[in-house]
Structure 1
């Protein structure tokens, strides 16, 4: 009897383990791009489409952060709310965009699907969370989060890359295994176990969620997730990307973390003018390493150049805000001040729509 009981326990444990194993699909093909180094020390590691020295169409050189009467702050460029009068571009796309803060967005599509980009509720996964607090003395104020009804009706979760401020395992466990998870190549082994349905996608691969087409598109960035940044064993092991949603001949683009490069022009040439563009404007500043920060993050003026390359009908910026990590920024809203200033200075024709964390816009 004892042996039979032990056998039943082992069998049950195996069944539970099997039932919680993640499901993985990988989408590559002749029309996709898998940007791997083929030889040398970096063989098997991913790379950007356009490496090397960069020249930028526009650069703010001085007086880049003038105050703006529409940005109401508790202290200088800190803890702010944008209260400017804005007109809805009335694009009639059917997309509804809600900003959670930093890179997190909840998107309701024209035909009713609900997806989320890069949701991160708290600061970081443990133990990096504690280490960051002890090292920096800074704790990120949480942004907005998905409501109970949003969690229940979520069709897909899309991650742009594995950096801690874009990908949090505890959030995945809270969201659960009902929605599909779409990621760049190589990311699935970073997930917790739990029966998650994961699809890894090469650049320019696409998949369907009912009648919603999801395209994985290039970004200009890098990846690492080890405790000590830039250790070679982890560096660029997983790919990074942006996302393009397409439904009813309307498009919404999420850039992911990215620097400015010719990949924006490539995306426009492949998919045409983009209706709604969600483009980062922050984390580009560093007194010690500003050149590298800008290489992998768009400045506000780089974001405007990208929006121009994409012929965006409206641009919604992200990365600034009261829930930012302030990694490579002067303050919580300095990047927004610079964006508003440069948009006026260069007489940009790209319409902006500014959100505060938790706000929505139907476009």
Structure 2
């Protein structure tokens, strides 16, 4: 076989392999046609992309950010042993008061009398479309899509691979009654076979009330979106979740900013704030070094639970540095913190868990 033919054959085999394993499908599909034209009418969509409320830092801030990255390049970025976890039967959870189960990173199940809420589920054990890249920590792989109960509402915060996981959603699709997503993310779900009638898109400060009575409001976040090459063609969001008399806040991914105080004034106080804490190489679009504690105060939250940590090595800081810096910052501000083990259920109103299961290195 000639060299050119050999290369073509190998390319064809590679394309067949990645297509067969779902690689091409997992990339998703950007809004186009009428969908794109609709986005172009929105006030936070300008010059062909969604915009944050605050502008990017100036060159001095970027320089400081550059130094921050290298100053924080420390080991261990992965835990040396399996993380402790709790095996919970998700089908028999108590619904009153609402019960929250964290699966590591930002994946959460909320069981309530008004329905089961699944947020940013990633059970493929990697945060990349390429197999073997950004693999989950040991001890965080015990829960699978098959373990989930019927889902009344799926909530997605944005389209990054560590929040919008094709493999997981493909398995859960037929068990999800409704999906609530930020503007533009609908295109990915429809491409993956979701019924368009079962998808609700929200812009910031838009709300929807589901048949069971759950009220979900999309609120601003300071982040970005990108699934293939172009950035910010879909929106990113945080959420206010109203469950009867209980009010929860889910940050999605967000840097610290004045939007937390604005959300707290408009929608607070909150019984629980689920706030990102980790992967803060990009300090403008992520929180770290105690910032979630101040965000919880701004939100007027009664309790803070850190998320977006303890599953994937997405930054150069030690894997458990986020929680070690958060706790003293929260104590200084008088903010109670709940740090469950993966899979450990927590009913709102119970005593928060604070055992330092992460401090074994």
1:297 alignment counterpart:
286
Partners of 2:330 and 2:336 within 8 A in 1: no
Structure 2, gaps ≥5 residues long:
1-34, 36-41, 62-67, 87-94, 349-361
For the residues of structure 2 that align with 1:245 and 1:129, how far apart are their CA atoms? 33
The alpha-carbon deviation at position 78 of structure 1 amounts to 6.2
Instruction: Note the alpha carbon deviations across 1:142-200, whole angstroms, 9 max, x for none.
Output: 4453675743x210110000000001112111112342111000011112024362111
Aligned length: 282
Change beyond 3 A, Cα 1:172–1:81: closer
The residue matched to 1:270 in structure 2 has which SS? Answer: helix
Change beyond 3 A, Cα 1:337–1:149: closer
1:311 alignment counterpart:
300
Partners of 1:329 and 1:335 within 8 A in 2: no
For the residues of structure 1 that align with 2:106 and 2:83, how far apart are their CA atoms? 18
Structure 1, gaps ≥5 residues long:
1-25, 27-32, 38-42, 56-60, 66-72, 84-91, 286-292
Note if 1:166 corresponds to 2:167: no
Q: Map residues 229-248 of structure 1 onto 2, 5 A cutoff.
A: 231=229, 234-248=230-244
Note if 1:45 corresponds to 2:46: no
Partners of 1:82 and 1:355 within 8 A in 2: no
List structure 1 segments (4+ residues) > 4 angstroms apart after TM superposition: 75-83, 138-142, 146-149
Partners of 1:77 and 1:334 within 8 A in 2: no
TM-score between the two structures when normalised by the length of structure 1: 0.70
The residue matched to 2:273 in structure 1 has which SS? Answer: strand
For the residues of structure 1 that align with 2:81 and 2:291, how far apart are their CA atoms? 23
1:7 alignment counterpart:
none
1:264 alignment counterpart:
260
1:203 alignment counterpart:
204
Instruction: Note the alpha carbon deviations across 1:289-340, whole angstroms, 9 max, x for none.
Output: xxxx01000014110110010111000111222xx21111423322111212
For the residues of structure 1 that align with 2:96 and 2:240, how far apart are their CA atoms? 14
Indicate the structure whose relative CO is greater, using CA pairs within 8 Å and at least 6 residues apart: 1
For the residues of structure 1 that align with 2:261 and 2:141, how far apart are their CA atoms? 32
For the residues of structure 2 that align with 1:146 and 1:362, how far apart are their CA atoms? 22
For the residues of structure 1 that align with 2:346 and 2:80, how far apart are their CA atoms? 24
Aligned counterpart in structure 1 of residue 45 of structure 2, from 36, 39, 51: 36
Change beyond 3 A, Cα 1:202–1:76: closer
Change beyond 3 A, Cα 1:194–1:159: closer
1:349 alignment counterpart:
334
For the residues of structure 2 that align with 1:78 and 1:264, how far apart are their CA atoms? 36
TM-score between the two structures when normalised by the length of structure 2: 0.70
Partners of 1:78 and 1:333 within 8 A in 2: no
1:215 alignment counterpart:
217
Note if 1:335 corresponds to 2:319: no
Higher strand share: 1
The residue matched to 1:298 in structure 2 has which SS? Answer: coil
For the residues of structure 2 that align with 1:201 and 1:277, how far apart are their CA atoms? 20
Note if 1:115 corresponds to 2:117: yes
Change beyond 3 A, Cα 1:122–1:147: closer
